[in-house]
Structure 1
Amino acid sequence: MFKLKLGLVAGLAFTCLDSVAAEPLQPSQIVTQAQAKAEKGDGYVFYSYFTKPTFGTQDALTGVAVIEPGKEIHPPHIHAEEEYLMVIEGEGVWSLKDKDIPAKAGDILYAAPWDSHGIRNTGNKPLKFVVMKWHSKGLPVPAELAAQKP
């Protein structure tokens, strides 16, 4: 019986690994800012570094944004992915769940799936922040979060 259970577990693991391996996964590497894809918008530049799925994530985005004074990349928004934002230069205002909170260098925001969030530059010099967001593979969305889905 033990061998049967072990065989089933191993078979399931290989099946899961097979389906993951079928996707083009992000290799380990270093990307310089000069190599990052730069998107210019009204008052900002967004440098996109890694966007491919990894062994444990999908819908990933890592990048650095530079926002000019008085600007934002977009208004507060929601999405299914978890997200971290870290201010590394400048100051501004976080928006988190419809509340405005001062943002300064060294601060980090975590936004759970479907929580409204954003940042705008209210300072007098460029605001620079790092962003990392992703959706974990194989993890179900908790019912209370799925119910909040728009």
Structure 2
Amino acid sequence: MKTKITLALVAVFLLGLSFTAGFSYARRLAKPNPSAVISQQKASREDFEWGSLYTYYTDETYGTKDLLAAVAVIKPGMEIHPPHLHAEEEFLMVTEGEGTWSMNGKTFPAQAGDMQYAAPWDEHGITNTGTTPLTFVVWKWNNKGVKVPKQPSH
């Protein structure tokens, strides 16, 4: 009887070691983005009907997950997509051009130097209403140490 209990305890111990080693290995594989400088030429460029998106960083950092750091160039009269909402926090900063911000059903002018913050689940967007391309920088992420808020029901 003692032998069976001892073997069972050894098996549980070895299983625990195996799980811990596997977990540690998986964490090493999922390293966050290292410190770096990425030029626009090295960013991933995608072209769409509305304009171009230059993606610099995705994945995670030490404190964030679901990260997007990018630059969008929107053609006159276009928008990337209609106003939308999501769990990630997001900053948008216009660097060139002009347009219209939308935030929770309201619209107002957007111009170079303006920055918008969208909290989780707040509806937001931007449209190029000018005659030249509108360029903006976007940072979007979820925090690793902060629980993602549930989408409120309206």
Structure-1-length-normalised TM-score: 0.81
Map of 1:133 onto structure 2:
140
SS at match of 2:54: strand
Counterpart code for 1:148:
P
One-letter amino acid of the structure 1 residue matched with residue 111 of structure 2: K
Instruction: Describe the SS at the equivalent of 1:146.
Output: coil
The equivalent residue for 1:146 is 150
Match among 101, 104, 108 for residue 108 of structure 2: 101
Change (3 A) 1:65 1:49: same
Find 2:87's aligned residue among 76, 80, 83: 80
| Unpaired segments ≥5 residues, structure 2 | 1-23
* Structure 1 residues not aligned, in runs of 5+: 1-16
> 1:136 Cα deviation (Å)?
0.2
Residue 115 of structure 1: aligned partner: 122
**Contact 1:20–1:55 (Cα < 8 Å) also in 2:** no
8 Å CA contact 2:79–2:127 kept in 1: the answer is yes
- RMSD over equivalenced CA pairs, Å: 2.0
State the TM-score, normalized to the length of structure 2.
Answer: 0.79
Establish whether residue 33 from structure 1 lines up as the match of residue 50 from structure 2: no
In the alignment, is the contact (CA less than 8 A) between 1:86 and 1:108 conserved in 2? yes
Q: Cα offset for 1:107? A: 0.2
Task: Give the percent of matched residue pairs that are identical in Structure 1 and Structure 2.
Answer: 51
SS of match in other structure, 1:73: coil
User: Is the contact between residue 92 and residue 122 of structure 1 (CA under 8 Å) also seen in structure 2?
Assistant: yes
